Structure 1
Amino acid sequence: MSTSESVRRLSPAAVGLLLTAALSLTACGEQRAPGPAAGAVVGSSPSASGASPYVEPGAGDGAPHYNENNAYRHPRDMSPAHAKDAEREAGRIRPVLERLWKQGQWKPSEVRAALLRLGYEEAPAAGDGGRTGGTLTVREMRPRYRDGGYVTPEGAMVGLRVHDDACVTAFVQKTNYEARANGPYPETGCFEPPYGH
């Protein structure tokens, strides 16, 4: 008698019991150490390559749902023409920030005054990152947790709205400076949002 004939003779209850037994033998959901003893081929397990099977592609720190949880930290896309405009403005701002950095002038008031001389119009920041008129916003650096408390480092953050879909995000502080073109962030406009949403 063949295997298929014997399976056809089993009652539905017996088939159910066999399926249950087969599933329990596969230990679905049980965690096992990878390796030859566990039936894994050496070099083929996710842990052998350092990647978790539960991580989406491009997930920064390897945590599950990284991209979903950090969507607020990803700037929106810019049109190609607006990206060129934003990069041109970043190119205007970089030398000013470099000069201020070399002179040790990174207070928000000093940075604001220097950038307003480039012809930008100051804009008060909206709480939701939206536009409230004007194009330039200069703020103090965000507080950072250090040695059991929050401290606000010296320096200034700069957000310049070039178009609705294009910004320059910049900063100058004691250690360095930067100005880069990017799309606006979903919740904070031209300012890069802090970690720990």
Structure 2
Amino acid sequence: MVTSTTPWRRRRAAPVLLLSAAVALTGCGTERATDTAAALPTSLARSSPPPSAPPTPTSPPASPYVEPGVVDGAPHIGDNNAYRRTGTLSPAGEKAARREAARIEPVLKRLWRQKEWDPESVRAALLELGYAEEGSGEAGERAGGTLGVRGMDARYETDHYVTPDGAQVGLRVRADACVTAFVQETNYGVKVNGPYLETGCFEPPYGH
């Protein structure tokens, strides 16, 4: 009887061992899956926030020294160039000045073509139109006459001043009206305007 029960116990024990092995294998697989999920980097689980945009630069405040209407923004350019402003030209004064400019322009054109732009030649040609040369008193004030002719103003070039050949003309037509003109080697010009603050009917040079 003892020998007959031993093989039965061995046969019953074999399924128990196989079942234990299967449970063990299943348990290992579950643990690996859990470990893999835990090992995933957090960057795959949620997206990173987008980088913030750089701040928009703001324009600097306007300078308090820029005058209204000044294009290049130079401070006090209007005050510095006040000497180049002309007086108010009335409609009657403009009409009278244009009439005299129409007489002067052909003379300057002829002199320019003849290459005679020195002040002496220009003065003599304009006096032939009947104008009287403007004089000056002891204190430098105007004294009679309306025509003024003089050489060109010196101008600065590179590192020194140069006085170009030519003549400039100032004709006082009325108290508020002038003919301002010039003739030189390169060109000539005639315009009407009110008198300048410091130079009368002559256009003042730059760099005052």
Same fold (TM over 0.5): yes
Per the alignment, do residues 72 and 139 of structure 1 end up closer, same or farther by CA in structure 2, a change over 3 Å counting? Answer: same
Change (3 A) 1:39 1:146: closer
With over 3 angstroms needed to count, the CA separation of the structure-2 counterparts of 1:71 and 1:126, relative to structure 1, is: farther
Give me the whole-angstrom Cα distance separating, in 1, the residues matched to 2:128 and 2:178.
19
Give the residue type in structure 1 aligned to 2:82: A
Equivalent-residue separation in structure 2 for 1:112 and 1:74 (angstroms) = 26
Whole-Å Cα distance in 2 between the matches of residues 55 and 125 of structure 1? Answer: 41
Look up the match of 1:38: 57
Deviation, 1:37, is 2.8
Shift of 1:53: 6.8
With 57-66 and 167-176 compared, the bigger mean Cα shift is at 57-66
Identify which of 186, 192, 196 aligns with 2:203.
192
Counterpart check, 1:90 vs 2:109 = no
What's the TM-score, normalizing by structure 1? 0.70
The CA RMSD measured in Å over matched residues stands at 2.5
Work out which of the two has the higher radius of gyration on C-alpha atoms and give 1 or 2: 2
Shift in alpha-carbon separation, 1:182–1:61, aligned structure 2, 3 A: farther
State the distance in 2 between where 1:194 and 1:172 align. Answer: 15
Query: 2:129, 2:71 → 1: CA distance?
Result: 37
Q: Would the aligned equivalents of 1:130 and 1:188 in 2 still touch at CA under 8 Å?
A: no
Find out whether 1:56 has 2:75 as its counterpart.
no
Mapped contact 1:128–1:187 kept (Cα < 8 A): no
Give the total of aligned pairs. 154
Deviation (angstroms), 1:150: 1.8
Whether the 8 Å CA contact 1:129–1:188 is kept in 2: the answer is no
1:55-77 Cα offsets, whole Å, 9 max, x none, are 33443643121111111101111
| Aligned equivalent of 1:116 | 127
